[in-house]
Structure 1
Amino acid sequence: MSNADEHPYRGEEINGSSASIAPGVSPEFFHAYRHESSLRFLIKSAVVVLGIGAIAVVGGNSLRGVGGWAAGVGGYASMIVGGLLVLLGLLLAFFAVGFWSLMAHAFKNGLLTPAVVVSQEPTALAVLAEMGNGGRTYHGVRRLVVPDLPVHGDHLGTRVPCSSTFQPGEAVDRWAWFTPTPISHGTARPAAIEECFRRLGEEPFRRLESLVRLGLVPPDEKQVILLDENYQVLERLKKPD
């Protein structure tokens, strides 16, 4: 990502910087729900907690009508616990809405990045991203394990366009970390995915495939191999806490 260099597919600003090439994809909610585990977890958790909370409130209110001090105390306790669960469920629903909003923004305005399948069990991608934040050029390679890979399949060497967002660190001229998401986790529309391939072009994928052949792929998801403008290794960045 950069702060200058106009591009016809430039994204809107994220974390003070805008992508030089953005996917411009509007994700489909139900498709993303099926393939993005974090979104699915938040929504399911919100529904379950709200349901239990509502049952506890209704059950407690019914228990109060039975009569007697024990039923009354139990009823009030159930209603209090149920009310707290309803509040927790609403908070989880708020987080789910916020996560979906951030995800949709990233699919439209993140940095369009190339990835290739490097493992089938589990399915893992090697992802190459520009990590410079003004001034010197940096590149980063990281491994991304995905539960599934819709549209593309998981054959070794399969090319996959991703949308990446970036996390700042202590260095002022580069990002400390990047988080890629396959475009196919947000949409299954062939036209949208083909447009991402067109915007990226052949060269980024060829460069990444060359780095994969050289073994420049982290063994796990906890590090990024940082490269200079000539794709020479500078250091291995650890995943921020």
Structure 2
Amino acid sequence: MGDTWADLSPGLDPEPLRFLYHEPTLRRHARGALVVGLVSLGSFIGCALLRSAESNWYEPLPLHLFGTVCGFLTIVAAATVVEAYRPLAYLFRNALLTPGVVLPGEPLTIVVLASLGNGRGPEVEGLRRIVLRSPLPDRDRAPGTRIPVVSTFQRGRGLDRWVTFRSTPIAWGTGRDREIERCLERLDPTDFKRLEALVARGVVPEDEDELIILDRNAGRIERVSIREETKRYPPDRG
């Protein structure tokens, strides 16, 4: 992802446990660490039970060795969670606040409008559909509900705009209504109205792979495949 922090950023640190639970990447890492940790704990409990049953001294050894290996893997998995958390929390605080609205139907889905201009080409905007793999805790999920999200953007080698963007609802990082409302208030109401008008006209990506590119007047330019665009314009870290 590109270096997308801006003046219009949330400016707040996510609540660690809440962010671990709701952010999909972190949740996968945390689940892995938890499973390995539970297996390790079960192995050591099994060793203790074997010893208390007055079994031969060598009988618990394989289980003890297995538990030790799992314990080591638990430490590695926990370190992986920490390493994954740091950059995602940094981006949550410093990346770009963007408007999103809830779409009708299941699963819970939002559509997000964000500028794709990166200073190298025309000022265009992108419209992206995002299926939320985690709920919006304590928030209204009725169609049309305005959702503040934080977005990070991907560079493309040889492309004069951002290739795509990834969005995270602010509600995944904080349960404080005051902070969420503050993020909503900082977003331009005009952008929300334009986004809502696009949804009302049916200008919505058909799936998560589709990106609709718009001009500043919200006239449709083209629909592109994010997967194909990423292949055509590989990530540029520069």
Q: 1:175 to 1:87 in 2, by over 3 A?
A: farther
Q: 1:191 to 1:51 in 2, by over 3 A?
A: same
> What does 1:164-179 align with in structure 2 at a 5 Å threshold?
164-179=151-166
Structure 2 stretches lacking a partner, 5+ long: 232-238
For residue 31 of structure 2, the aligned residue among 44, 47, 56 is 44
> What does 1:134-173 align with in structure 2 at a 5 Å threshold?
134-136=119-121, 137-146=123-132, 147-173=134-160
For residue 91 of structure 1, the aligned residue among 45, 51, 76 is 76
Q: 1:230 to 1:20 in 2, by over 3 A?
A: farther
Q: CA deviation at 1:181?
A: 0.9
Q: Deviations over 1:58-104 (max 9, x none)?
A: 6458869844xxx74x6443344333322322222122212322232
Q: CA deviation at 1:22?
A: 0.8
> What does 1:74-85 align with in structure 2 at a 5 Å threshold?
75-85=60-70
The answer to which structure, 1 or 2, has the higher relative contact order (CA under 8 A, 6+ apart) is: 2
Structure 1 stretches lacking a partner, 5+ long: 1-13
> What does 1:172-187 align with in structure 2 at a 5 Å threshold?
172-187=159-174
Q: Percent identity?
A: 36
Structure 2 counterpart of 1:88, one-letter code: L
Aligned residue for 1:217?
Answer: 204
CA contact (8 A) 2:212 2:224 kept: yes
Question: How many positions carry a matched residue from both structures?
Answer: 224
1:132 alignment partner, SS class: coil
Aligned residue for 1:9?
Answer: none
When structure 1 is superposed on structure 2, of 57-66 and 85-94 the one drifting more is 57-66
Distance in 1 separating the partners of 2:144 and 2:45: 55
For residue 194 of structure 2, the aligned residue among 184, 207, 214 is 207
- What TM-score, normalized to structure 2? 0.81
Structure 2 counterpart of 1:144, one-letter code: I
Q: Deviations over 1:5-53 (max 9, x none)?
A: xxxxxxxxx7344335111122112333443344333223212312312
Alpha-carbon RMSD = 2.6
Q: 1:77 to 1:215 in 2, by over 3 A?
A: same
The reply to whether residue 125 of structure 1 matches residue 110 of structure 2 is yes
1:119 alignment partner, SS class: coil
- What TM-score, normalized to structure 1? 0.80
When structure 1 is superposed on structure 2, of 163-172 and 138-147 the one drifting more is 163-172
Q: 1:75 to 1:43 in 2, by over 3 A?
A: same
Distance in 2 separating the partners of 1:120 and 1:148: 14
Q: 1:16 to 1:160 in 2, by over 3 A?
A: closer
